[in-house]
Amino acid sequence: MRSFIGALRIVLVYFVFSLCWILFSDALLEYFVQDVARLTTIQTYKGIFFIFVTSLLLFLLIKSNIFAIYKVQKKLQENEQRLKFVIQGANLGYWDWDYVNNKHVVNDKWLEFLGLSRMDIQDKVSDWSELIHPEDKMVTQRAIQKAIFDFLPYVIEFRMKHKDGHWVWIEGSGAVVEKDEITNKPLRLAGTHKNISFRKKANEKITFLALNDALTKLPNRIFLKTKLEEFLEEAIKNKMSLAFLFLDLDYFKNINDVYGHSVGDKVIQDVALRFKNVLNDSDFIARVGGDEFVILTSDSLHVEELCKDLAHSIEKPFDVGNEKISLGVSVGIALFPHDGDNFEALFKNADTAMYAAKNSGKNRYKFYTQDMSDVIFKSTKMDNEMKRAIENDEFTLHYQPQIDLKTGAIVGVEALVRWLDPIKGLIPPNDFIPRAEANRLMIPMGEIIFKKALVQMKEWSASGLFDGKMAINISGVQIEEEDFVTLFESILQEVGVDARKIELEVTESAIMKDAKSSQVTLLKLRNLGFSVSIDDFGTGYSSLSYLKQLPINKLKIDRAFIKDLPYDNDDIAISKVIIALAKNLELQVLAEGVETEEQRIFLLENGCDTAQGYLFAKPMNADSFAQFAKKK
């Protein structure tokens, strides 16, 4: 258009100038020159002058136009060059599509991305659109159509097939770059291709790591959460139930402790693989903690079989170092919709059921029930209350006399703890000691009890009220502590009581839990001057050969064997055996829970030294004991 106007302008200027010359030059000349001969000569010169001037004019006009065209062309070349540099520098493939003639031109980079040479591809659009991944065809077609019909430029991501068969991720941009001004139809489209495979792979890796566990490559907790949503949606749609299994390996910590973490890691990987092999394709497994896994299955009818198969799969030995070990797993099951309809509820309840499975002996599965939560709720509540009780000094001691069966004299007194809660009142030890042992608050509590009993003993000794021994109960978790003996020794010195006045009661089961180390601890205690008695004797399956080696002074026959004396034949036999055993090992013997006169006589006649029980006195507070002792 611009060239047309340029040409028209030149012609127009020429036309106007020539017209004026023709119309006015002769008339003007005739006006000044009358001589005909001179006129002819001058007219010749005028013609030459005309040609000269118009030539000059034409030259100037054409020159200025050609110069302008040259300038535009130069600029265009520069731009083209610059674009080429940019495209090359940005590592971009470039395509140019003559829409009218359906000719498609690409640069070398474009071909290089797909491992193609010029021979491999024609100049038809259909050629290269065939290389697009079937799943991405829709996206690309839509983008190109929008560019063609709505003149909307696009940037999209799609895959194209490399010559060697693998898929290359491309970020493609495109737009109509030329259109017919009159019909408004696109004439040319152009755009770029960028190879983004590397970026895509890095992104995929990041996404994978964010959703999967690095060690086992199993989905992690975040993945589980989104997967559960899918399972729930499906279950709701099909009106089906869904089982949420929480798995925790039994005694896995021991493997890490004994064989080291790299062996532990290997075992976890193997376990993950074995679990996976048990599952159906539709089941889902995630690793949610060190040795914790979650399985989702829609097949909730066969969940018990699944649990058995899972346990079975890890029974077969694993290689650890030079040894082979088999593993157990505790499984808690929560069912949708019964036990929860969201991630938090199902996770929490399955976890609770898993703990219940652990507590009831490990290597088993348990379905969640409401009372499991109640127990846990109560326990955590109690933990907090117990911590507060220790801080507020809410523990107090009651005392039960121990009687010499022959003389009836008080030979000892057992200190028995009670918790004086400001609201609930006096709480008996059986209601809180098992929990205190589980949460290990028994350790600070035992220290308080020991100290209180010593202070009381010192007071009674000083006043001459009582000259026997103070028996103090020691829990299994206390003797397991490394500094137990030194701690007791320092408290003994601090309060200033003679160790020979103190008898420590340790249950048979606590000793037998780790007989070897118990023996060492008891020996140290004995060397400090303490007496040691075995509490609840007869209930802990101690081996007789072991008993002989233990540095102990007394056996306390458990109340269970005294209760039905002198009528139950078994109890008669057992109590007689225990008394005889004590005599043979040169140990003292005490009968617990003596409530009747008949029991007292039976025990006396069968050689039992001492007894304790409601028949003589119930446990009582310090003041009542003082009065009781005075009366004797």
Which spans of this chain sit near Ca ion (rule: CB under 5 A)? Answer: 473, 505, 535-536, 592
**Least CB distance from residue 601 to ligand C2E, whole Å?**
16
**Least CB distance from residue 537 to Ca ion, whole Å?**
8
Q: What residues form DSSP beta bridges with 106?
A: 95
Supply the DSSP string of 417-481, one letter for each residue. EEEEETTTEEE-GGGTHHHHHHTTTHHHHHHHHHHHHHHHHHHHHHHTS--SEEEEEE-HHHHHS
Residue (123 or 404) nearer to ligand C2E, CB? 404
Question: 381 Cβ partners below 8 Å, 6+ apart?
Answer: none
Residue (307 or 471) nearer to Ca ion, CB? 471
Instruction: Tally Cβ neighbours within 10 Å of residue 371.
Output: 9
Six-digit token string for 446: 């035992």
291 three-state secondary structure: coil
Q: 337 preceded by cis ω (within 30°)? A: yes
How many Å apart are CA 294 and CA 287, to the nearest integer?
6
Residue (169 or 450) nearer to ligand C2E, CB? 450
Note whether 401 binds ligand C2E by CB under 6 A.
no
Percentages helix, strand, coil for the chain, rounded to the nearest 5? 55, 20, 25
Please answer whether residues 472 and 450 qualify as being in contact, where contact means their C-beta atoms are separated by less than 8 angstroms.
yes
Residue (352 or 473) nearer to Ca ion, CB? 473
**Least CB distance from residue 376 to Ca ion, whole Å?**
29
How many Å apart are CA 204 and CA 24, to the nearest integer?
86
Q: Where are the alpha helices (DSSP H) in 90-220?
A: 108-113, 125-129, 137-150, 197-211
Residue (174 or 593) nearer to Ca ion, CB? 593
Residue (235 or 587) nearer to ligand C2E, CB? 587
Segment interacting with ligand C2E (CB under 6 A) among 117-125, 221-229, 539-547, 613-621: 613-621
Q: What residues form DSSP beta bridges with 191?
A: 95, 174
**Least CB distance from residue 390 to Ca ion, whole Å?**
21
In the list 400, 456, 531, 542, the residue contacting ligand C2E (rule: CB under 6 A) is 400
From the list Ca ion, ligand C2E, none, partner contacted by residue 613 (C-beta under 5 to 8 A by kind)? ligand C2E
In the list 475, 542, 588, 599, the residue contacting ligand C2E (rule: CB under 6 A) is 475
Note whether 613 binds ligand C2E by CB under 6 A.
yes
Note whether 473 binds ligand C2E by CB under 6 A.
yes
Six-digit token string for 423: 């609201």
Max intra-chain CA distance, the chain: 184
**Least CB distance from residue 414 to Ca ion, whole Å?**
6
Please answer whether residues 133 and 159 qualify as being in contact, where contact means their C-beta atoms are separated by less than 8 angstroms.
yes
In the list 43, 187, 595, 622, the residue contacting ligand C2E (rule: CB under 6 A) is 595
Please answer whether residues 54 and 17 qualify as being in contact, where contact means their C-beta atoms are separated by less than 8 angstroms.
yes
Q: Which of residues 553-592 bind ligand C2E (CB under 6 A)?
A: 592
Question: 423 Cβ partners below 8 Å, 6+ apart?
Answer: none
How many Å apart are CA 286 and CA 218, to the nearest integer?
6
Q: Which of residues 408-467 bind ligand C2E (CB under 6 A)?
A: 415-417, 428-430, 433, 449
In the list 535, 579, 582, 600, the residue contacting ligand C2E (rule: CB under 6 A) is 535
Residue (256 or 396) nearer to ligand C2E, CB? 396
**Least CB distance from residue 556 to ligand C2E, whole Å?**
7
**Least CB distance from residue 367 to ligand C2E, whole Å?**
33
Instruction: Tally Cβ neighbours within 10 Å of residue 368.
Output: 26
Note whether 593 binds ligand C2E by CB under 6 A.
yes
Q: What are the residues binding ligand C2E (CB under 6 A)?
A: 400, 415-417, 428-430, 433, 449, 473-475, 535-536, 592-595, 612-614, 619
